[in-house]
Structure 1
C-alpha cells in the first residue's frame, strides 16, 4: 500500500483561492451596501423636499384661515354689539301667549316694514364697521416720479390734456388729465410729476389713460404735485410709518383710491401728505404743491 500525501504547494494554492474568494465576496457586499446607501440618500432628499413643501402649504393655509377667522369674528362682534343696542325686535316681543298683540295701534304690515328697515340698517352698520377695520393705507398705492415728454389737447375734449410720460420703463405711458384750464402745455413739458401707476388702464373719451397724475386742488386752481428736483423718473414715493408694498393693480371694486382720498392733502407749507406724513422720495426730498397750501389732492 502506497502512502499518499498532500502536496504542500496545492494546499497553499487552495488557501490563496479561498482568501481571494472571501475578499471578492466582501467587496461585492460592500459595493451593494454603497449602492443601497446612495439610493437611500436620494430617497431621503426627496422625502425631505416633500415634507418642506407640505409644511409651506400648511403654513399658507393656516395664514389664510386665520385672516378669514379674524374677519368673521370682527363682523360677528359688530353684529352682536349692534343687536344689543337695538334691543329685542323679535316676534316674542310682539306676541303674548302665542297670539298677536291686537291692542297695538300699528298694523302688522307696517310693523313688518319697520322690522325690515331695522334689519337693513343693522346690516349696513355692521358692514361699515368691518370696512373700517379693513381700511387700507397709502402703502397700497404705487406712487412714482415721472417726467412729462409731450402734451397735446384731447381730440374730443377741450378740458383734457393727453400727456406722454417717462417712468424709467421701456416705453412711455399715456396719461389723460384735466389741466387745460389751469396750466399751459408749455409749462408742463419736461416737468417732474407724481403718478399713481397701479390703477387699471381706462379709456377717457376714447383715449386710454395708463396712470393717474396727482394734483393739488383748492377752490380756485389745480396744479401737479412737484417731486424734489434731484428725483429721477421711476423713483418710488414712500411714507414714513407705512412700509408696506404696493399692490400690482388696484381692484376698482375695492375703491381703495377713493377711500384714501379724504386723508390726502397739502399742509400749510404745501407739502403733500397722507394723515400728516409727507410724500417722500427717499434720500432726495419731499413732494410739494408750489402754489397750493392746505389744499386737497386728487
Structure 2
C-alpha cells in the first residue's frame, strides 16, 4: 500500500511538469507496475496465496494504477490548454497484424515491375509496310492566251448612272443565264445614256466580281479604246445573248475565275491584254486572229482601227 501511495503522489506532481516530463513519468509508472508484477509473481512462487487470488489482486491493482495515470494525464492536459500551451500528439504504436498486411502490398509492388518487364519483352507486332501510291500526274499548265477568257454576247436591258459616281453607268445585261448580270462601266464620258439602252455588247464573264462604289460588278463590257475615244464592240448581226465569242486556233477551256493582278502574280487578263487589238477592218483580234461568233460573223468596233481592246 505504501508503494501505491508513493506512486500516486509522484504522479500528482507531474501536473506542474511539461508534456515531455509527464511522458517520462508515465514510463516510470509502467516500470513500477512491472516491478509490482514481478513481486507478486515472486509471492505466488512462495505459495503464500493461492495462484488464482494472487492473479486477481494483481489485475485489480494494475487496472486501478492505469486509471489513475490516465486521469492525471487528462488533468495535466486541461491545465496546459488553459495556460495556452500547445499540445503535441504522440505517435500511436502500430497495431498487431498491420505489418503482415503491408508485406503483401510490398510484394505486389515488387511484382509489378516484373510484369511490366514481361510486357516490354513481348515482341511487337510488325507494322505492315504501306505500298507507295503512284503520284498523281501533274495537270499540264494552260497556255496564256485568249482561250482562258470567257466572252459572251450580251444585251443591255437597263442602264442608268451609278448613284454614287458621276462617271459610271450601272447596267443590267442579259447574257443567256438565269438572271441578268449587274455590270458597272466607266463610259459616261464616251457614250450617251440613250445609246446604252437595249444595246448588244460583248461581255468578259469570268473576271472575279469586284465592288465599285458599293455595288458589285459581275462582268466587263469589251471596248476598243484610245485616250481620246472609246467604242463599245458590237457582236455580228444575228447574235443573241449567251452566244460564245471565240478565236479560231485558240480552243482551250476558259478559266472558271480570273483573279485580279496582285503583288504575287499578274492576272491572266493582263497577260493576254497586249494581244487584244482591232485590225485594219475594225475587227477585234487576238494576235491578229479575228474574234467571231460561230456561223454568224466577227466582232467589230464602229470606227477604231489598230487600237487596244479592253
TM superposition score category, shorter chain reference: 0.5 to 0.7
Relative to structure 1, is the Cα distance of residues 135 and 168 closer, same or farther in structure 2, using a 3 angstrom cutoff? Answer: closer
Paired with 2:233 and 2:209, the residues of 1 have a C-alpha distance of 21
Alignment partner, residue 278 of structure 2:
266
CA contact (8 A) 1:139 1:239 kept: yes
Q: Which residue of 2 aligns with 1:147?
A: 155
> Is residue 286 of structure 1 aligned with residue 298 of structure 2?
yes
Mapped pair 1:61 → 2:136: yes
Q: How many pairs are equivalent?
A: 174
Structure 1 or 2, whichever has the larger Rg, is: 2
Shift of 1:156: 1.4
- Which residue of 1 is the match for residue 5 of structure 2? none
Name the Cα RMSD after superposition: 1.8
Q: TM-score, normalised by structure 1?
A: 0.56
TM-score, normalising length from structure 2? 0.54
> Which runs of 4 or more aligned residues in structure 1 lie more than 4 Å from their structure 2 counterparts after TM superposition?
none
Matches within 5 A, 1:138-287: 138-252=146-260, 253-287=265-299
- TM-aligned CA deviation for residue 254 of structure 1: 4.5
Counterpart-to-counterpart distance in 2, 1:230 and 1:188:
19
Q: CA deviation digits over 1:135-180, x for unaligned, max 9?
A: 6110000000000001100111111101100011111001000110
Distance 1:213 1:187 in 2: 14
Mind listing any 5+ residue stretches in structure 2 that lack a counterpart?
A: 1-132
Provide Cα deviations, 1:37-84, integer angstroms capped at 9, x if missing partner: xxxxxxxxxxxxxxxxxxxx95x81344xx5xxx9xxxxxxxxxxxxx
Confirm or deny that 1:137 pairs with 2:149.
Answer: no
Q: Secondary structure at the match of 1:62?
A: coil
Q: Which has the higher helix share?
A: 1
Cα distance per residue 1:221-264 (max 9 Å; x no partner): 10111000200100000111101111111133441111111111
